[in-house]
Each structure stands twice: as structure tokens, then as C-alpha cells.
Amino acid sequence: MPVRGSEAYRAELYEIQKVDFALVELTLYLDTHPGDIQAVQQFNQLAQRRRQLVYPFEMRYGPMLQFGLSFTRYPWQWNDEPWPWQV
């Protein structure tokens, strides 16, 4: 069974964090340059990549987000530690 906080967990989370960082930066850029088609395309590619990374991560380790943005298995997983922001 995969372990939260393991080396594999950290490596996968790091990949997700890199994509998240780029998405935040592109969001800020697109706020002031909404007509930049290349930036919009890059944003959409990264958003798709994020989905590809997050789904298997959550299936192995549990939800990353709350408020219905992530699924959970039974029993309730949200209280399993460490949480992604604690690593």
C-alpha cells in the first residue's frame, strides 16, 4: 500500500507542484495579456497535464483538495496525514 510522505509520494507531489506553479504564473500573466493565444494554449496543456498527474496521485494517497473538488474512498481520507501542504 502506498504511504503518504514516502519518497514516491514526495516525487509525485513535486511534479504536481511544478505544474501548479506554472499554472499560477500563467494565470497572472493572462490576467494582463488575455489575448496571448500561446499562453492560453500553454495554460490549457498544463491544466490537462495536472489532471493526468492528480487523478492517479489521489487514487494512491487520497484527496488533495476539499469541498468536493476531489473524490475520497471509504473510510473518509481527508484526515489522513501528512497533508500535501505539510510535506
pLDDT tens string 9-67:
999 999 999 999 999 998 999 889 989 899 999 999 999 999 999 999 988 888 787 66
Least Cα distance to 53 among 64, 38, 40 occurs for 64
Return the higher-pLDDT residue of 57 and 75.
Answer: 57
Q: Which residue has the higher pLDDT, 12 or 81?
A: 12
Contact 84, 66 (CB under 8 A): no
C-alpha cell at 62: 487520497
Domain ranges (residues) in the chain: 7-86
Overall size of the chain counted in residues: 87
Q: State the pLDDT at residue 73.
A: 56
Read off the pTM.
0.76
Task: Please report which confidence band the pLDDT of residue 71 belongs to, taking 50, 70 and 90 as the band edges.
Answer: low
